[in-house]
Amino acid sequence: MLALYYLDTDKMSNWIQLKSRSCCVVLSACLWLSLGHGAALASADTVDSNLFLKLVSAPKIINTKKKKTPVVIAIVDDGVRTDHQDIFNFIWQNPGESGTNNVDDDGNGLIDDLHGWDVADNNNDLGPPGERLAEFYHGTRLAGIITAVARQAYAGQAADYIRIMPVKAVSDQAEQLYVKAGFSGIQYAINAGADIILCSWTIGHISKAEEHILVEAAEKGILIISSAGNIPQEMEQYPAAYSPVLAVAAADITGRKTKQSTYGQYVDLAAYGVDISSADSVSTSAYALSSGSSYSAALAAAAAALIKSEHPGFSATEITACLLNSANPMPEQTRELTGKVGAGTLNIATALKCDLLTGPGNRIETLSKSKGFLNLKNNRRKRTTWSIQPAGEFKGIRFNAHQINKTSGKGVLKVYAGASDKAELFAEYAIGNIPDTFYLPADRVFVVLEGRRKKLDAGVLLEYEIEIINFSTLYCSGQKKIIKQGSLDDGSGDNTYSPASDCKWLITAPKGKVIRLDFSEFDTEAKTDFIYFFDGTGTHADIIGRFSGPEIPPELTSWHNQLLVWFVTNGQLEGQGWRANIHFVDPAK
């Protein structure tokens, strides 16, 4: 099956008006270039152009000592206008190439990849095609966001600290902006030595070969940051959903997930993503406003670069831990979003400080985020405790251990399935022998780190995240068979029915009989959530009726002895549900 990589665009978000999860089947084969909401939404001078910097707490660092090695962010996208006034000073230069001399100086098989490479057209032309400047805008806008954060931090020295490696993965002749060469672009960035790779595009699945590329990046210590997508549904999108890629959703000015942003357990972080002003591709001095998770991911990439710049020894995992643990708490979410919008919203200043790794640590900590990290380093005390108490409904809490450096000292990690060490002891692990992953089916977990010597350096970051409830299948799912008279309902009881439901019931009466349904309860979101009735065994059969709204529907009778009932809902404004009585009756004469 052909995989198409799409940019997350406003146009795409507006086009997709999904009513049920079943509609996603055709989308799952598509790689979406997360051009996060498309073209310019308004003139850049209609809003505060620095608002997004304030909303992510972009800091002013202003170092005076030049770093030896700038942090390199590869932007794998539709190209970057490298001569834009906000960008040209930041463009990476390949240390293995001596110039544009028509010679492959570094022996990588590519001639004159001095500043990056166009993996789609196999040349070193990194910018948008001259006749399509307004179409190939996405990478330029991402670059403009990153350089804006860098200038805020380092002022006139910014280009000494942060560099951008353009990797063009959309052909100049592409009829539609599918990033077909996205993973080839990631491979180039890995080989070229990027520290961070920004992938603001998504797809519903990836191949084994593409997985191997992501694994290679992780093994080489490269942090890949990807947008969650702009399909307003809960659905896994890649590379964002592949661990350890950092997945970023879009948040609005209130800190809530935007209506357009994709969500799911794979999301690690949210960042502001509405009307962000940055460089545009139509000229060397143009600016535009853009919205979407693409630009949220660019802000996260800029934050990661600042952390790497100020803490050169931090690994990709440590940078991720700084971003998640420092995130601002999000406003209260609906239960359906619990654990699906990340640890919180990006706060660059606190991420840069990163008390998790640079501070003395607290003897007792209470953690309420849906995901985060524990630093198992206890070199000043004999006992440290964490009480993990995430909000909302969820199945349990999973832990993943990341070895950061060599473990020294003797000690033990105790994990209790409750709010204190008075609860049931779930497990006890010797330091240096903590399993890679373990899971507790509990909504509260108490963790104790005890040292057997005064000094203990565990050398481990313990990641935790809640395991979500799939509310779309909480009350009904799949297709069930009914061969007896009785009652039929959506399964939600006194609760509202599930969001994004996709449930079917095939009712079969004895031969010679037909099926009559009369409703005793009915409350669904009008003109959005529907019950369909098909005269037969599948949705290919004739539709007898379709009901929606808050009123009790009229009695319905099938034409033959089989009736398929299909209940489909969107992800918002669930009603109390419905209940019907099933009768097998003789056909009317």
Question: Cα–Cα distance between 373 and 324 in angstroms, integer?
Answer: 8
> CB neighbours of 166 closer than 8 A, spacing ≥ 6?
74, 75, 77, 79, 80, 82, 91, 92, 115, 116, 126, 127, 139, 143
Contact 207, 279 (CB under 8 A): no
> CB neighbours of 2 closer than 8 A, spacing ≥ 6?
29
- CA distances 377 to 145, 160, 247, 323, Å, are 35, 33, 27, 19
pLDDT (0 to 100) of residue 47: 55
Kindly report, residue by residue over 239-291, the tens digit of the pLDDT. 999 999 999 999 999 999 999 999 999 999 999 999 999 999 999 999 999 99
Q: Is residue 497 part of a domain?
A: yes
Kindly report, residue by residue over 39-73, the tens digit of the pLDDT. 443 334 455 778 999 999 999 988 777 777 899 99
User: Percentage of the chain surpassing pLDDT 70?
Assistant: 89
Are 544 and 419 in a shared domain?
A: no
> CB neighbours of 39 closer than 8 A, spacing ≥ 6?
9, 10, 11, 134, 137, 288, 290
Residue 570 banded pLDDT, cuts 50, 70, 90: confident
Are 255 and 399 in a shared domain?
A: no
Average pLDDT along the chain:
89
Are 553 and 510 in a shared domain?
A: yes
Res 471 pLDDT > 90: no
Res 299 pLDDT > 90: yes
Are 54 and 82 in a shared domain?
A: yes
Res 20 pLDDT > 70: no
**H/E run at residue 190:** helix 182-192
Cα–Cα–Cα angle for 71, 75, 77, rounded to 5 degrees: 180
> What's the mean pLDDT in 449-478?
84
Q: Is 316 helix (H, G, I), strand (E, B) or coil?
A: helix
pLDDT (0 to 100) of residue 450: 87
Going by C-alpha positions, the residue among 126, 161, 136 that lies closest to residue 147 is: 161
Res 543 pLDDT > 90: yes
Are 478 and 338 in a shared domain?
A: no
pLDDT (0 to 100) of residue 381: 66
Q: Where among 467, 493, 511 does a domain terminate?
A: 467
Q: Where among 430, 448, 467 does a domain terminate?
A: 467
Are 339 and 380 in a shared domain?
A: no
Question: Cα–Cα distance between 376 and 355 in angstroms, integer?
Answer: 13
pLDDT (0 to 100) of residue 551: 95
Are 460 and 480 in a shared domain?
A: no
Res 23 pLDDT > 80: no
Are 331 and 215 in a shared domain?
A: yes
Find the DSSP H helices in 313-438: 316-325, 348-353, 355-358
Total domains present in the chain: 3
- For the ranges 212-221, 395-404, 514-523, 578-587, the lowest mean pLDDT is seen at 395-404
pLDDT (0 to 100) of residue 176: 85
Q: Is residue 313 part of a domain?
A: yes
Question: Cα–Cα distance between 146 and 308 in angstroms, integer?
Answer: 14
Total Cβ atoms within 10 A of residue 395? 16
Q: Which residue has the higher pLDDT, 493 or 4?
A: 493
Residue 455 banded pLDDT, cuts 50, 70, 90: low
Res 452 pLDDT > 70: no
Are 57 and 134 in a shared domain?
A: yes
Kindly report, residue by residue over 348-400, the tens digit of the pLDDT. 999 999 999 998 777 888 999 999 999 988 666 678 999 999 999 899 999 99
Res 25 pLDDT > 60: no
CATH classification at residue 387: 2.60.120.290
> What's the mean pLDDT in 137-161?
96
Query: If you count them, how many residues does the chain have?
Result: 589
473-510 per-residue burial string, b: 16 or more CB within 10 A, e: under 16: ebbbbeeeebeeeeebbbbbeeebbbbbbbbbbbbbbe
- For the ranges 132-141, 338-347, 408-417, the lowest mean pLDDT is seen at 408-417
Q: Which residue has the higher pLDDT, 299 or 3?
A: 299
Q: Is 447 helix (H, G, I), strand (E, B) or coil?
A: strand
Are 434 and 498 in a shared domain?
A: no
Total Cβ atoms within 10 A of residue 107? 7
Cα torsion 199, 204, 208, 214 to 10°: value is: 20
Question: Cα–Cα distance between 166 and 240 in angstroms, integer?
Answer: 20
Res 14 pLDDT > 50: no
CATH classification at residue 323: 3.40.50.200
- For the ranges 29-38, 189-198, 199-208, the lowest mean pLDDT is seen at 29-38
Provide the residue range defining the domain that includes 13: 6-349
Q: Which residue has the higher pLDDT, 125 or 175?
A: 125
pLDDT (0 to 100) of residue 459: 79
Contact 416, 448 (CB under 8 A): yes
Residue 31 banded pLDDT, cuts 50, 70, 90: low
φ, ψ of residue 251 in degrees (nearest 5): -120, 155
Residue 188 banded pLDDT, cuts 50, 70, 90: very high
275 conformational bin, left if phi > 0, alpha if psi -120 to 50, beta if neither: left
pLDDT (0 to 100) of residue 453: 57
Are 316 and 333 in a shared domain?
A: yes
Residue 10 banded pLDDT, cuts 50, 70, 90: very low
Q: Is residue 518 part of a domain?
A: yes
pLDDT (0 to 100) of residue 456: 64
pLDDT (0 to 100) of residue 43: 39
